[in-house]
Structure 1
């Protein structure tokens, strides 16, 4: 009996040690060093609006969308996430962060205090961003108004409230790879691919997820249930029946500029705030995004076409 108990204790100790090692917050990225030199604030502004930062981080109810005090509640099957303050406030925001700490949060989902960040903050997409763009984005965000007030803690059910367990999640869903251009494609296509897959994080809303909250790779961009349980995020692949296969490049650029679809409807839900940001991008960037999205492999939506919302009308 003593030998059996000793064996069980040893298994528990070994298992706990393995869990601790595997779940350690690590710098899982090939981003490289942050470039020296003065940041390009114009480029930082472009990354800010491409990243749709105001949709989640702007203080709810404030007309000034550059006041990034956070507080928005994001409901999900795992509980409710409260979007943090990312204004330049030194105490309550990111004003006391270094650019290296910011890059680590964006690429590896690790806070300055060493804790895992939840993937409701889409670092699985932000990890594709270059060190230069992260430097410029951070510098631009530091020019915005400082907002006081710390956001409340997330309200998550067990075991999702154990942050340490996110280390296992990251082993499966976070690879740390920076975007690599395709030399066989045009510069515009590569720019669009970078924006869509990186800062704009389009797949984070427009893809179905598995039981662990990770994007299902072969269903990427095919739409799915809105995480908050309200409505359906549309398929944005060029599938002619359930996606945007009948749209032209001009149609898609128009949507990203004004929010109007080819059917003379306008986007609603979360997509309306996305368009507020994409409308501030350059025409060349909107066209690049359209080039890339329309080049995606056509795939049917993840629910029957008869139930699918027209592209652009439900969240995202």
Structure 2
């Protein structure tokens, strides 16, 4: 009790002490969410490939062997974005690959990787997205062959190849290795591009990060296992970290194509510690040769 103050005055004093803590907690969530949005590659995928495109309003084309997918608007617009989504709706999409109506997403949305993310990280992402200005931009329909033109195909694929499961630390590995594994396997979803796929598009985890000859937009995605000839086995841990920061290869050349956007919007925004954790994880993988 504070002597000489009425009950109302005491309540005001107590609230004035608590409210800043709430504000700090909210700011922390938003700053973490902004960091995670970059780490998760959300900006690159959910922003149309044009100079005046509003960030995160969708429309970016992803050309795949199964057709062309267009990313959706994930600004908090209530009609064309995700402004009506609850926390549970958002978590269900990221962890389980289901929209608020329970329909399955196509795995062009990398929920098979995102499923490993912690609920806290997912909700921090949502908090940041909902702090942004809503953008009214309708989603564009995917351009798919007839046999994939309904959500039934996505539902069948999900039932065959997907398991909802959160990341768990490996007690036999260091904290840095575990952080790198979380970033590479789940938040950064590197395997969605750098791991080859099976006949129906499921990632072939037996060849984790060994390169993908049939990447998006017809690109051949390079092998990033520590294979001396086909991968990055000749790179030091510092080489990997510096590449993720600047895009410069050990020979002085610079990465281009889709990896350039990943570096600009994603890995260059990470802390040096997180980039080194990624390098530690990559160097621990089996060294796999290319396989056409």
Q: TM-score, normalised by structure 1?
A: 0.80
2:269 is paired with a residue whose SS is: coil
- Aligned-pair distance for 1:88? 1.4
Paired with 2:159 and 2:66, the residues of 1 have a C-alpha distance of 19
Residue segments in structure 2 that go unaligned for 5+ positions in a row:
1-24
1:1-316 matches, cutoff 5 A: 38=26, 40-62=29-51, 67-276=55-264, 277-303=266-292
Would the aligned equivalents of 1:92 and 1:150 in 2 still touch at CA under 8 Å? yes
Would the aligned equivalents of 1:236 and 1:293 in 2 still touch at CA under 8 Å? yes
- Aligned-pair distance for 1:229? 4.8
2:63 is paired with a residue whose SS is: strand
- Aligned-pair distance for 1:62? 3.8
- Aligned-pair distance for 1:171? 2.4
**1:135-159 alpha-carbon deviations (Å, 9 max, x no partner):** 1111111122321111221111121
Would the aligned equivalents of 2:104 and 2:158 in 1 still touch at CA under 8 Å? no
- Farther-moved stretch of structure 1 (167-176 vs 47-56): 167-176
2:147 is paired with a residue whose SS is: coil
2:68 is paired with a residue whose SS is: strand
Would the aligned equivalents of 1:60 and 1:70 in 2 still touch at CA under 8 Å? no
Structure (1/2) with the larger helix percentage:
2
1:42 is paired with a residue whose SS is: helix
